[in-house]
Amino acid sequence: EKTLDYYIKHRTVRHQRVLDAVNSGITDLGAISEIAYENTPDAHPGLAKQQTLSHLLAWQRSGEISEQSRGWHPNG
């Protein structure tokens, strides 16, 4: 149970870091990924980008952000 709780918390923190990066004005997937994974320097860059995109798409589905021609942007 402790292990599962750890992974859920870890995922929740990463999810929020992605949104925080977009809300701070970072629009590029690669740059958002670098911010989201700065506490995991050994993460494979390709995997980090794929996972960041998953978080971005989840935030888009929730209506918090949208993808535009110039990258990812907060709604509202």
Query: pLDDT tens-digit profile of 65-74?
Result: 999 999 999 9
Q: What is the mean pLDDT of residues 17-31?
A: 98
Q: What is the pLDDT of residue 34?
A: 96
First-to-last C-alpha distance (Å) of the chain? 38
Q: 29 by DSSP, 3-state: which?
A: helix
* Rounded CA separation 2/9 (Å): 11
Read off the pTM: 0.91
Average pLDDT of the chain, as a whole number: 96
pLDDT band for position 76 (cuts 50, 70, 90): confident
Q: What is the mean pLDDT of residues 5-18?
A: 96
* Rounded CA separation 70/38 (Å): 23
